[in-house]
């Protein structure tokens, strides 16, 4: 039986560590590919085109939208972010699980097109811990931190749209939990209809 | 956060090895308890009252039904089988996951009462392998085997009612898969509403 790839949408408050979790997960296990988003925002220091993001112009982004070349896109703080379709579908066809690190708006667009996509929300152990992590980064000024907490507060409204939550307390444990949730998803009955039908046919032939 | 127990309903064709899987699972991990059914059928050689089943009379069984002392019951080949309520609810309250080895009819009764029950169906790698295992037992005559295969053929119709399927090819692997599916279930967002609400309240207080 050929294993079919699953789309895994991962969201979580800014600063919760979802990027680190996903990088660790994909480096530990071969079965995952991390989708790279296209964006119109400028690269931050250290970011590389094609690694963190595909950095494109507004014009290029709007062309992608028009050509149905994105499976989801959204605007955030004046910039476009979107997921190129080709990469995702190629990987799924190869049986690779594709991880998309996107926000609620995009997650819901994905769920509409890919019924069996799995939506995962990464939670901090507490709101206080989230604030601590945002502060500890040291790269952002207080105003930005306040904005991110306010944003987190808004995003928290949508958590029930996600299938699973994981708590990022210990990184290793969290990575293994995500791996285990995805492994379980592969065993859901609706993702194994083909196998069920095969056994059913075989049984039917046996008792004839 | 107090972990709440989950009801796990396990079904599967006769001979597929679900009893062995569940015994192995509960002996490996403390977090599970195996519910013991009440039945009106006679004990088979080697079976003990209170270990494999609670063996009761028809009268006693019908009294249990009347007193709402069973969370599900069904008739099978002229006998009653049912799950005593008290044991299950006591364990759930203690945060223990309760495993019920019952059939589709009972599984659906459970799902109606306990919305977050998880339904699991154990599959053989192939129908041929199932036949081989039934024959290999050596305890049953050919007529019984034929009946069980016919019964399996009937049961196969209901598999889509189950949330997950596991394939019992390698016992150890299968036990770990079941453990992993249950672990994932504990991380579903609808089973963590309390934690989500807590974080939400904390965030809201932070940005006030």
Tens-digit pLDDT profile for residues B74-97: 887 899 999 999 999 999 999 999
Give the pLDDT of residue A163. 96
Give the pLDDT of residue A137. 65
Contact A156 B203 (CB under 8 A): yes
The number of C-alpha atoms within 13 Å of A178 and in the hemisphere containing its C-beta is 33
Q: Is the separation of the CB atoms in A119 and A164 below 8 Å?
A: yes
CA distances from B4 to B7, B86, B97, B114 (A): 10, 16, 8, 13
CATH class of A7-35+95-207: alpha beta
Give the pLDDT of residue A65. 96
| Structure tokens, B50 | 């209170």
**ipTM of the prediction:** 0.88
What does the mean pLDDT of chain A come to?
Answer: 92
Spatial separation of the C-alpha atoms in residues A107 and A72, rounded to whole Å: 8
Give the pLDDT of residue B75. 85
Reduced to 3 states, what is the DSSP secondary structure of residue A188?
strand
In sequence order, what are the beta bridge partners of B99?
Answer: B8, B34
Contact A196 B166 (CB under 8 A): no
Is it the case that residue A58 has pLDDT exceeding 90? Answer: yes
Q: Above pLDDT 70, what percent of chain A?
A: 97
Q: Is the separation of the CB atoms in B187 and A181 below 8 Å?
A: yes
Q: Is the separation of the CB atoms in A4 and A94 below 8 Å?
A: no
N-term to C-term CA, chain B: 25
| CB < 8 Å from B in window 134-153 of A | 146, 149-150, 152-153
Contact A195 B123 (CB under 8 A): yes
Kindly tell me the number of DSSP H helices and DSSP E strands found in chain B: 8, 9
Q: Give the start-to-end residue ranges of the domains of chain A.
A: 7-35+95-207
Nearest to B203 among A153, A164, A199 (CB): A153
- Residue to substitute from A165, A168, A204, interface B, most B β-carbons within 10 A: A165
Beta strand A7-12 pairing with A118-123: parallel
Q: Is the separation of the CB atoms in A122 and A166 below 8 Å?
A: yes
Choice among A106-115, A142-151, A191-200, B117-126 with the minimum mean pLDDT: A142-151
Contact A177 B183 (CB under 8 A): yes
Q: Check CB contact of B128 with chain A, cutoff 8 Å.
A: yes
Q: For residue B201, give how far its alpha carbon lies from the nearest alpha carbon of chain A (Å).
A: 9
Reduced to 3 states, what is the DSSP secondary structure of residue B124?
coil
CA distances from B69 to A76, A86, B34, B103 (A): 56, 56, 17, 19
Spatial separation of the C-alpha atoms in residues B87 and B70, rounded to whole Å: 10
Sign, CA torsion B144/B145/B148/B150: negative
Q: Measured between beta carbons, which residues in chain B are less than 8 angstroms from residue A199?
A: 123-124, 126-127, 156
Is it the case that residue A119 has pLDDT exceeding 90? Answer: yes
Spatial separation of the C-alpha atoms in residues B57 and A174, rounded to whole Å: 50
Which regions of chain B are under pLDDT 70? 1-2, 137-140
Q: Is the separation of the CB atoms in B6 and B117 below 8 Å?
A: yes
Residue A26 vs residue B134, higher pLDDT: A26
At A138, the pLDDT band (50, 70, 90 cuts) reads: low
Mean pLDDT of A108-118: 94
In sequence order, what are the beta bridge partners of A37?
Answer: A53
Q: Closest Cα partner for B85 from B102, B94, B73, B97?
A: B73
Mean pLDDT of A175-196: 96
Q: Closest Cα partner for B113 from B81, B80, B72, B75?
A: B72
| Structure tokens, B110 | 């459970």
Spatial separation of the C-alpha atoms in residues B84 and B81, rounded to whole Å: 10
| Structure tokens, B176 | 């770990």
Q: For residue B203, give how far its alpha carbon lies from the nearest alpha carbon of chain A (Å).
A: 5
Give the pLDDT of residue A139. 63
Q: Is the separation of the CB atoms in A1 and A111 below 8 Å?
A: no
At A207, the pLDDT band (50, 70, 90 cuts) reads: confident
pLDDT digits (tens, 9 = 90+) for A61-84: 999 999 999 999 988 789 999 999
Spatial separation of the C-alpha atoms in residues B71 and A190, rounded to whole Å: 27
Q: Above pLDDT 90, what percent of chain A?
A: 75
| Structure tokens, B208 | 């006030």
Give the pLDDT of residue A2. 67
Q: Check CB contact of B176 with chain A, cutoff 8 Å.
A: no
Give the pLDDT of residue B1. 56
Q: Check CB contact of A121 with chain B, cutoff 8 Å.
A: yes
- Phi, psi (degrees; rounded to nearest 5) at A15: 95, -5
At A134, the pLDDT band (50, 70, 90 cuts) reads: confident
């Amino acid at each position: 039986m050929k294993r079919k790839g699953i789309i895994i949408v991962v969201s979580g408050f800014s600063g919760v560590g979802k990027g680190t979790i996903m990088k660790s997960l994909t480096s530990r296990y071969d079965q995952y590919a991390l989708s790279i988003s296209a964006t119109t925002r400028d690269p931050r220091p250290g970011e590389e085109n094609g690694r963190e993001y595909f950095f494109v112009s507004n014009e290029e982004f709007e062309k992608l939208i028009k050509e149905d070349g994105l499976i989801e896109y959204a605007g955030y703080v004046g910039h476009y972010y979107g997921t190129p379709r080709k990469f995702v579908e190629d990987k799924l066809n190869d049986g690779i699980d594709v991880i998309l690190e996107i926000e609620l708006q995009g997650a819901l667009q994905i769920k509409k097109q890919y019924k069996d996509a799995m939506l995962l929300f990464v939670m901090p152990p507490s709101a206080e811990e989230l604030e601590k992590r945002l502060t500890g980064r040291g790269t952002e000024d207080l105003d930005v931190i306040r904005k991110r907490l306010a944003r987190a507060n808004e995003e928290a409204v949508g958590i029930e749209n996600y299938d699973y939550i994981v708590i990022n307390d210990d990184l290793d444990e969290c990575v293994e939990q995500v791996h285990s949730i995805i492994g379980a998803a592969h065993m859901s009955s609706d993702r194994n209809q083909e196998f069920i039908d095969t056994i059913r046919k075989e049984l039917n032939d046996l008792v004839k």
